[in-house]
C-alpha cells in the first residue's frame, strides 16, 4: 500500500483546510482497512487525529481535541482519504500523516504500529 498525502499549507486561525491522501495498492481495494490521520508537532510525539472504516464511512473515530471541528471521509471510487479541518487553531500546527492498516475490531485496538504511512504534509496555523 502506498499513501500520498497533500493539501497542507498556511492558514489563519479560524480558517479551513482539506487534506487528501491518495491510496494505491496491489489489490486496488481496501476492504477491511481502517485509514486515519495522525499529526506531529516539533518536539512532540505523533498523535492520533481521526480515522474511518474504509468499508463503512459512517464508522469514524476522532481525538477529543478535534471532535466537532475536523471531519474524516473517504471516496472509494478515487481511493482517497480526506480530512476536512475547520476552525483551525495554532495548536493544530503540525505535520499531518495518513495511515492505513487492516483491522476488524474496535477503535481502541487498531494496530497502528503495523500501518502503512504516507509522507506527511505540513499544516501551519498562524495566530
At 27 the pLDDT is 62
With cut-offs at 50, 70 and 90, classify the pLDDT of residue 28.
low
Mean predicted confidence (pLDDT) in 11-23: 98
At 29 the pLDDT is 78
Whole-number average pLDDT of the chain: 95
> Per residue in 67-108, pLDDT tens?
999 999 999 999 999 999 999 999 999 999 999 999 998 999
> Per residue in 110-127, pLDDT tens?
999 999 999 999 999 999
Burial class (CB in 10 A: 0-12, 13-18, 19+), 24: exposed
At 7 the pLDDT is 98
With cut-offs at 50, 70 and 90, classify the pLDDT of residue 26.
confident
First to last CA, the chain: 37
To the nearest whole percent, how much of the chain has pLDDT over 70? 98
Handedness of CA 98, 103, 108, 112 (dihedral sign): negative
To the nearest whole percent, how much of the chain has pLDDT over 90? 90
At 105 the pLDDT is 86
At 25 the pLDDT is 84
**SS3 for 66?**
coil
Amino acid at each position: 500500500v502506498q499513501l500520498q498525502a497533500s493539501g497542507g499549507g498556511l492558514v489563519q486561525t479560524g480558517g479551513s483546510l482539506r487534506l487528501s491522501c491518495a491510496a494505491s495498492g496491489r489489490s486496488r481495494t481496501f476492504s477491511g482497512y481502517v485509514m486515519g490521520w495522525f499529526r506531529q508537532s516539533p518536539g512532540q510525539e505523533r498523535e492520533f487525529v481521526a480515522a474511518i472504516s474504509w468499508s463503512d464511512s459512517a464508522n469514524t473515530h476522532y481525538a477529543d481535541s478535534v471532535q466537532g471541528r475536523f471531519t474524516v471521509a473517504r471516496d472509494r471510487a478515487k481511493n482517497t482519504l480526506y480530512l476536512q479541518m475547520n476552525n483551525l487553531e495554532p495548536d493544530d500546527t503540525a505535520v499531518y500523516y495518513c495511515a492505513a492498516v487492516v483491522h476488524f475490531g474496535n477503535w481502541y485496538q487498531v494496530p497502528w504500529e503495523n500501518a502503512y504511512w504516507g509522507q506527511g504534509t505540513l499544516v501551519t496555523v498562524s495566530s
